[in-house]
Structure 1
Amino acid sequence: MAEHAHIDWLRERLRASLAHEAKDASELISWLEARRKQVPFSAELIPLREVAGWRQADNGNISHTTGQFFGIQGVRVKSAPGLREIAGWDQPIFTQAEGGVLALIGRETSGHGVEFLLQAKADPGNVGYLQFCPSIQSTWENIRGLKGARRPSFAECLEPSENVRIVYRAKHNEEGSRFWQKSNENMILFVRDATGLAVSEEVHRWASLSQIKAMMLLDNVVGPYVRTVLAPL
């Protein structure tokens, strides 16, 4: 019930914010387009046998030489009649020991109302490469700093404190047609004072819920995880 109270509190703050928060997202879109031109990033499809750092076992399974990241195995599916299009099939599927965190950080100011911190994140499969993603989008391995991984920005906000209110946290299944029993922890974190956050103007932008909704109507601007994190609101 405490979590519901936090969600109701944020919903009320969003209703109050609606009267004066920014609605026009054109400046954010222009910034993203400029960053796409400025940031050196390229990706191309290559044969699996040429992929460096990955290996194929005798049984055909594919994994990274360090044992990190994900693996690729096969899955055999049997379905009850009428539940799916066919009664069964085989396919490759991604496997991973544990999921990660998808978190949006929010703040409220007198001049701009409620805003959420987005990061322009580059992924090789994105159209346009850079898309607006949650404030924190990371595996637990990186968050814990395991095996020399660099901790993501704002990882310190994942625990409640005098400055951080956890509005909600819930595990959501990654797309089950491609990932084997993988869940990500979705979170909204609200900070009373955001001045201490290490916000980089080259990576991060604050955006109102109205601006985010406007950008969601455009092609390939907002990543899918932003939508899932905001859905409970």
Structure 2
Amino acid sequence: MIIDEIKVILENNEYELDSDTISRIQTMLESIRDDNQINKLDYVIEWFNKKREESDMIVEEIGVNDLDKWNVDSNTGNVKHESGGFFQVIGVKASNTFDREVGKKGWTQPMIAKNPGGILGILMKRINGIPHYLLQAKAEPGNIGKLQLSPTLQATTSNLLKAHGGSKPLFAEYFNEENNLNIIYAKWQSEDGGRFYLKSNYNMIVEVTEDKDLEIPDSFIWVTLYQIKQLMKIENFVGPHVRGIISYL
């Protein structure tokens, strides 16, 4: 096998082959060949573009005062949801001793805050021994093209607690660490500090067994690591959360 040949070459050059190194070799091999056992790359692209065409989501800008269930606090001016969940838009004042675009005097700006974070998780399943990753064509109002390829689970704490009054996000049960011991990766990672105040999300990759029969909705699709990296070459196709999670691999 190729991996055995690579291991021999590394051993001959005095590299220490621990479990992490071997895992990295396997991931490298995943990245350079399209071994998807279900969907070829051309089909994935065609499927996603069709989902974009079929999306009936219409997004239009409205005034903050016209938002449903969102209010502007008369004392602070913060924008917040009536449930107390999701997030708030607050104001911050930053001062510094180093030069920036605004010099040393500092600046003020609005930021998204009061959000305890959530889970950004991708399910992985081996199909005929090949790792496949479950992504979704997710519609969000700020997306270019309406939809972008997103993680299996992309949910804030408020989503998971159903603060919006809707249903719990699909596949959320697989990202409960107490119930799932086969976790490949799970770490808190910070979000953009220029727009989010003290915000981080729990990034996860969780493996389900090959014999696990999952009911996959039409808005989800199995792709390989090779395919994800090829799709990232297409502008505004793969969402930032997928890019962030797979950076571990």
With normalisation by structure 2, the TM-score equals 0.81
Q: Which residue of 2 aligns with 1:176?
A: 193
Partner of 1:204: 220
Matched, 1:32 2:44: no
* Cα RMSD, aligned residues only: 2.5
Kept in 1: contact 2:191–2:201 (CA 8 A): yes
**Residues 58-207 of structure 1 aligned to structure 2 (within 5 Å):** 58=74, 59-82=76-99, 84-85=100-101, 86-87=103-104, 88-110=106-128, 113-145=130-162, 148-159=165-176, 165-193=182-210, 195-200=212-217, 202-207=218-223
Q: Deviations over 1:9-38 (max 9, x none)?
A: 654543554556149522111111111122
Are 2:85 and 2:163, in contact at CA under 8 Å, matched by a contact in 1? no
Take 1:93 and 1:194, find their aligned partners in 2: how far apart are those partners? 45
Identity fraction in percent: 33
1:14 alignment partner in structure 2: 27
Asked whether the equivalents of residues 34 and 224 of structure 2 are also in contact (C-alpha less than 8 Å), the reply is: no
Gaps of 5+ in 2: 1-17
SS at match of 1:43: coil
Query: Which protein, 1 or 2, shows the higher relative CO under an 8 Å CA cutoff with sep ≥ 6?
Result: 1
Name stretches of at least 5 consecutive residues in structure 1 with no aligned partner: none
1:54 aligns with 70
Q: Which residue of 2 aligns with 1:227?
A: 243
8 Å contact kept, 1:105–1:191? yes
Which shows bigger deviation, 121-130 or 134-143?
134-143
**Paired letter, 1:222:** V
Quickly say closer, same or farther: Cα 1:146–1:56, change in 2 above 3 A: closer
How far apart are the structure 1 equivalents of 2:181 and 2:56? 34
**Counterpart AA for 2:119:** V
Between the aligned partners of 2:216 and 2:133, the Cα distance in structure 1 is 12
Tell me the CA shift for residue 159 of structure 1: 3.3
Q: TM-score if structure 1 supplies the norm length?
A: 0.87
Q: What's the CA shift for 1:142?
A: 2.5
Question: 1:191 Cα deviation (Å)?
Answer: 1.3
CA distance in structure 1 between the aligned counterparts of 2:82 and 2:222, rounded to whole angstroms: 38
Q: Is the contact between residue 164 and residue 191 of structure 1 (CA under 8 Å) also seen in structure 2?
A: no
Distance 1:196 1:81, change over 3 A: same
SS at 1:180's partner residue? Answer: coil
Structure 1 residue 192: deviation in Å? 1.4
Paired with 2:168 and 2:126, the residues of 1 have a C-alpha distance of 26
Q: Which contiguous aligned blocks of 4+ residues in structure 1 show a shift greater than 6 angstroms? A: none
Residues 14 and 114, structure 1, Cα contact 8 Å, conserved in 2: no
**SS of aligned partner of 1:141:** helix
Mapped contact 1:215–1:222 kept (Cα < 8 A): yes
Aligned pairs, number: 226
Greater C-alpha Rg: 2
